[in-house]
Structure 1
Amino acid sequence: MKPTTRVTLAAVVSGVAAAMGVTATPAAAVPVPVPLSGAEQALGMELPEVAGELPVLTPGAPDGPRYTEDRLLPERALPQLPLHGGLPGADVRQPLPQVGGDGFDHVGLDTPASDVRALAPSLAVDAPLGPPSADSLGLPTTRLPQAGLVSPMVRTIPSADLGVGPGL
């Protein structure tokens, strides 16, 4: 196979993969530690342990125009752009002194980063001319122009876990 054929084939395959919305990596979250040790030493008390996760948004491939039989312009003049990412996560652990002893227990709240799938708003426009009609000798029919906004969409399933346990 010639090198030009290989390059052309690779470009076609990558173009098809991009058009289908294939992504190489899923949405990732970057861990963010919150250092509170300096505040613990300055205040002379134990503070909660806090860690977080910040999501990284990755844009997907936009939906292409959809032509229908009854319209002169495509269904969505401005396509919707999909975004994949996540809600930020957090892990908080607070020391809890035992009532009848010298030890400590803990209260913990864990909210893992959850996936978010969103679609940006889109613009839908229809021209004042319709398709040619046999009743009007092949001339296009006229109608009122239409414009609309396709609403954005957000989909996610957040979760949280609140618990009390022994030890720190």
Structure 2
Amino acid sequence: MDIQKTHWKRLINPDYIGAYALNPDEDLTVTIDYVQREQIVGTDGKKEDATVAHLKGHKPLILNVTNSKSIAKLYGPYIEEWAGKDITLYASMTKAFGDVVECLRIRPSVAKRKKPPITPDRLGKAIKSIVAGQYTTEKLRAQFELTKEQEKEVNDAVQAAVEGTENA
């Protein structure tokens, strides 16, 4: 079992997402809300203008030239067309300021988003809705990652409902 480790920079809680936000060997697919030029304040208190991608549900990402080019290769050169588009972030290393430092980079293709697991309570409600004809197994599988046991539970409930209507 992997133990979740905490990068020391996570404890500082900066205003922008960085490589420290990802676990080792982890990718993060995010959706761009909008991109704009704005004034940022560095950790040293220095103010500067930067291009910032605001991400849905995450801290904003300061876009350097390398990451801007990566997004442009995916979606074209116009920042207005990047809104609503997914990008996949990963942690890497780069030379900067005479040192090798961590950085966030953007994958050349977007990783498929992983579906969330479903809680037993929510699965029970979904099964009731499926049996009542208000929901479908296709929608359930499209929204959630089901274990083999949960798949069996859904299939058994649907089968029992079908047999119940055939016998009525």
TM-score greater than 0.5 by the shorter chain:
no
Higher helix share: 2
- Relative to the length of structure 1, the TM-score reads 0.21
- Relative to the length of structure 2, the TM-score reads 0.21
Higher strand share: 1
